[in-house]
Each structure stands twice: as structure tokens, then as C-alpha cells.
Amino acid sequence: MAEGLDWEAIKRKYHYRCVICRQPEKVAGKLVQVQIEDAVIPPQVFPLCPEHNLKYSQGYFTNAELKKIGISRDTYLANVSNAGENIEPDSPPSTTEKAILAQQDAIKMVQKSQRKRFQQTQSDFRKDI
């Protein structure tokens, strides 16, 4: 990661603007540095606004956006998947995830009771025959 003067120099090189939307830091929010590493090119650092940094890290950059930073989709995907490795795989479920799990349990319980009722109807039908 570029630090101190290096990062200042990089931001100055890009006129203190996001490389994608060209919005200045004052408008778009604090610029975030993104480092791209690849076997064939030296590591490169770009300033991105918070919005484009999020889009970048989630792997949603379009070909046109990749062209602006001059990297191929392969390089991009390799860098994004590297970033993904930092995510804790065993992190506890969030509140939203817990709510979804609870909902799924409730659905299963309803399905179970419906199945029971259905089996009962079937056995009643057999008695009639």
C-alpha cells in the first residue's frame, strides 16, 4: 500500500479525483486507494471514491471502467478474489441472516404440518374404499 507522500503523489497525479467518475474528493468523499497487482505489470495504485471502491471490491466493474484504469478483466478478477480472501469465513451470522434462518425454520414447520394433514386425508380415503 502507498503511504504518506507516495499516496499524496498518486492522488495529485489523478488531480485528487476518482479515476472512474472524475469527481473530486470534496464532492465524492474521501478517496480510497486501490492497489492492483499482476504478474505482468508493476503494482499500480489508484484513487477511487467510496462508491467506486465498493463497486470495485464487489467485482462489479464494467469493461469500460476497467479500461479507465487500464487493466484486463482477468487481472481485475484475480485482484478482487485476493481481496475476498480477507473476509472471515467463520464470522457469526448477522441479524439479517438470523432473521432469514428463522423464517426458513417457520416455513419448514408449516410444510411439515401440511404434510401430516395430507397423509391423514389419504389414510381416511383408504378407509372408505
Residues found near Zn ion in the complex (CB under 5 A) = 18, 20-21, 49, 52
Our CB check for Zn ion shows the closer of 12 and 115 to be 12
- Least distance CB 55 / Zn ion (angstroms): 8
- Least distance CB 70 / Zn ion (angstroms): 16
d(CA 104, CA 111): 11
Element (H, E) at 8: helix 4-13
Our CB check for Zn ion shows the closer of 13 and 116 to be 13
Residue type, 79: N
- Name beta bridge partners: 33: 47
- Least distance CB 63 / Zn ion (angstroms): 17
What three-state secondary structure class fits 2?
coil
- Least distance CB 30 / Zn ion (angstroms): 12
Our CB check for Zn ion shows the closer of 63 and 96 to be 63
Cβ-proximal residues to 15 (8 Å cutoff; 6+ apart), any chain? 24
Closest CB to Zn ion: residue number: 18
What three-state secondary structure class fits 27?
helix
Our CB check for Zn ion shows the closer of 20 and 36 to be 20
d(CA 49, CA 32): 6
